Amino acid sequence: MENDRDATETGNVIRNSSPAEILEDRSTEIDDFIGPNLEYDAEIEEERHFWRKRVAVVKNLVCVSVACMLTYGIYLGLLQMQLILHYDETYREVKYGNMGLQDIDQKMLMGINVTPVVALLYTPVLIRFLGTKWLLFLCVGVYALFVSTNYWERYYTLVPSAIAIGFSIVPLWTSIGNYITRMAQKYYEYSNYKAIDVQQQKKAPKGAYEKYIVIFHSVFYAIFSLSLVCAELPMICFLTDYLYPYDHTLYNVKHCGPQMKGCLEGLNKTVLIKLPRSTSLIIVESVMMGVAFLSMLLVLMLCGAAYRPTEEIDLRSIGWGNIFQLPFKHLRDFRLRLLIPFFVFSGLEMVFACTGFALSYGVCSLGLERLSSLIMVYGLSWSLWSLLSLSLPRRGILVAGGVLHLTLLLTLMVWAPAPRKPTTGNMVTLHIIAGLWGLGTAFNKSGLSALLGILYSDKGRQDFIFAVYHWCQSMAIFGYYLLSNLQMQVKLSILLICLVISLLSFGWMERKIKRQVPYRIPRIPKPRHKTKGYRYLEEENSDEEEDGAEEKEMEQDGGEDERETLRRRD
């Protein structure tokens, strides 16, 4: 009723008012709607806009870090559980008979470690064809494929998926390194949007990106290193209840440490008290598959693009030959060449911590049931010190990490725990060494990645630099795989020699930089676009070029007609 009364009153007012008054009221309403908003503040709105941009960049960093953490946590956890189950003699005979699971495991490890040898040949092509984000998504999907093949463990499922993992290792880490560096550069641009170099889209001043690159790479490794903790969750929650105690599994082990040959000589062939039910294994693998699928969704839906579409188009317009040569051309730079020993040691030290130290020192003395605690201490220390090293200079922490690893290697060469002695002293000592090794790994990984981003921050793309870095790491892991049956003292000597060479070459690089020795950075070729479309018009008018081409074609056609007429006359 009240609404009807209001409507009648407004109708009466309109009837009683003149047409001029009605037009005047409507014009004032239109002016209020179209005219400038007095409450609008352009500076505040601009600040809010770039604040949202910065939040989006931080969201990209966190999402890609969590996705990589989940992907590698599932991959390493499944691989560890699979190798332990397949090692048990009873499990192989009862579950699979004479199928040859150990032979399949050997070929699977060979596929993972050997395939990256040729990665430097196809990684630039994948970068050109797919771009940074989609290459990252594809590689994460390959890891999910590896998880799915474990539902049906056969030669034709496990070995091809392992080869696919080896195929995607270097492209995955190349895209990750470039993505994190690009996010740091974007955060600088959105934080300093009023700077002249940002507004005019010019190169940033020297050292402008350094703080952001250090923070972003440190945060990434702080989150990613928790993948080692996630990898041990299947072991703790599921497999530990099925393992024999140390006095059974280590019954034939005679010595530990430097005298150990291979990874763990003398380990009992039966390590499982009872065989796990097939339904329990399917449940565990289904949970892993769900987490792998979640990591794919994180990359696909929550991670933004690293480059604008026009920048990706510019890269795709470069010829295949030029793209193929770019990683090799970057090796002309003496800075990258002198960092190669550090790249190699970076791959060796991590695989040694997870296999050589954990098995030949930790499991040999404490038993297989303590393997997860050593790996978790290593991962937690890596994560913690990656965050605590934010304020330290990259060059300083590289040297500090190298000196710490040098001290630990010398200690491991002269000290060996007693086999089958899980005493408090051995347990504390081994966990302290694992924590200190994680500290050195944190300094090494975050330091190298951030240093590469800083040294080549003036380049448009860092894909090809990170391709060289992670290819060298993969080659180091492949070399360690080939030498896995050697005595532990030989492995420690190789790591020690490689570390000394790394520190010397790094010092030589710093000396050449201080002396301002010129270095060569290859330019990425300029894109060759077709002169069709509004986006790629050159300074000269493209219409004139097309007209000129048409005139030339008409002249050629006219000349051919005249020749034909002369021939007919003859």
Longest pairwise C-alpha distance within the chain: 111
Cα(73)–Cα(254) distance, integer angstroms = 33
Per-residue pLDDT band for 17 (boundaries 50, 70, 90) equals: low
Cα(120)–Cα(59) distance, integer angstroms = 30
Q: Which residues pair with 487 in a beta bridge?
A: 261
What tokens does 262 get?
């291979």
Q: Identify the CA nearest to 144 among candidates 35, 278, 300.
A: 300
Between residues 406 and 48, which one has the greater pLDDT? 406
Cα(276)–Cα(94) distance, integer angstroms = 11
Per-residue pLDDT band for 549 (boundaries 50, 70, 90) equals: very low
pLDDT digits (tens, 9 = 90+) for 273-316: 989 998 999 999 999 999 999 999 999 999 988 888 777 766 76
Residue 14, classed as helix, strand or coil, is helix
pLDDT digits (tens, 9 = 90+) for 175-234: 999 999 999 989 988 888 877 766 666 777 777 888 899 999 999 999 999 999 999 999
**What pTM was computed for the model?**
0.84
Cα(464)–Cα(509) distance, integer angstroms = 20
**Residue 452 carries which side chain, given as an amino acid letter?**
L
Category of 371 on φ-ψ map: left (φ > 0), alpha (ψ -120 to 50) or beta: alpha
pLDDT at 543 over 70: no
Which helix (H) or strand (E) segment is 281 a member of?
Answer: helix 278-297
Helices 424-455, 394-414: axis angle to 10 degrees equals 150
pLDDT at 34 over 90: no
Residue 548, classed as helix, strand or coil, is helix
What tokens does 280 get?
């329990």
- Per-residue pLDDT at 38: 58
Indicate the Cα dihedral angle 176, 182, 183, 189, nearest 10°: 180
48-62, 70-84, 92-106, 379-393: segment of lowest average pLDDT: 92-106
Q: Which residues pair with 272 in a beta bridge?
A: 243
Q: What angle do CA 472, 219, 224 make, to 5 degrees?
A: 60
- The arithmetic mean of pLDDT across residues 390-406, rounded, is 86
**Residue 166 carries which side chain, given as an amino acid letter?**
G
Q: Identify the CA nearest to 311 among candidates 460, 480, 465.
A: 460
**Residue 146 carries which side chain, given as an amino acid letter?**
F
Burial of 355 (0-12, 13-18, 19+ CB in 10 A): middle
- Per-residue pLDDT at 384: 94
Per-residue pLDDT band for 558 (boundaries 50, 70, 90) equals: very low
- Per-residue pLDDT at 570: 45
pLDDT at 539 over 50: no
What tokens does 153 get?
């463990």
- The arithmetic mean of pLDDT across residues 106-116, rounded, is 91
Helices 119-130, 320-330: axis angle to 10 degrees equals 130
> What is the phi/psi pair of residue 287, to 5°?
-60, -45
Residue 506, classed as helix, strand or coil, is helix
Cα(314)–Cα(335) distance, integer angstroms = 27
- Per-residue pLDDT at 8: 54
Residue 261, classed as helix, strand or coil, is strand
**What is the SS3 string spanning 334-352?**
HHHHHHHHHHHHHHHHHHH
> What is the phi/psi pair of residue 272, to 5°?
-105, 130
Cα(423)–Cα(13) distance, integer angstroms = 96
**Residue 235 carries which side chain, given as an amino acid letter?**
M
Per-residue pLDDT band for 545 (boundaries 50, 70, 90) equals: very low
**Residue 28 carries which side chain, given as an amino acid letter?**
T
128-142, 466-480, 550-564: segment of lowest average pLDDT: 550-564
Measured between alpha carbons, how far apart are the two ends of the chain, in Å? 105
pLDDT at 375 over 50: yes
Which helix (H) or strand (E) segment is 467 a member of?
Answer: helix 463-482
- Per-residue pLDDT at 21: 59
Q: Identify the CA nearest to 448 among candidates 433, 466, 467.
A: 466
Which residues, other chains included, contact 490 with Cβ-Cβ below 8 Å and sequence gap of 6+? 483
Helices 155-191, 424-455: axis angle to 10 degrees equals 60
CATH of 46-514, one of 1.10.3720.10, 2.60.34.10, 1.20.1250.20, 2.40.160.40: 1.20.1250.20
Which residues, other chains included, contact 542 with Cβ-Cβ below 8 Å and sequence gap of 6+? 531, 532
Round the average pLDDT of the chain to a whole number and report it. Answer: 83
Say how many residues make up the chain: 570
Residue 243, classed as helix, strand or coil, is strand
- Per-residue pLDDT at 314: 67
- Per-residue pLDDT at 12: 53
Residue ranges covered by each domain of the chain: 46-514
3-7, 364-368, 539-543: segment of lowest average pLDDT: 539-543
pLDDT at 468 over 60: yes
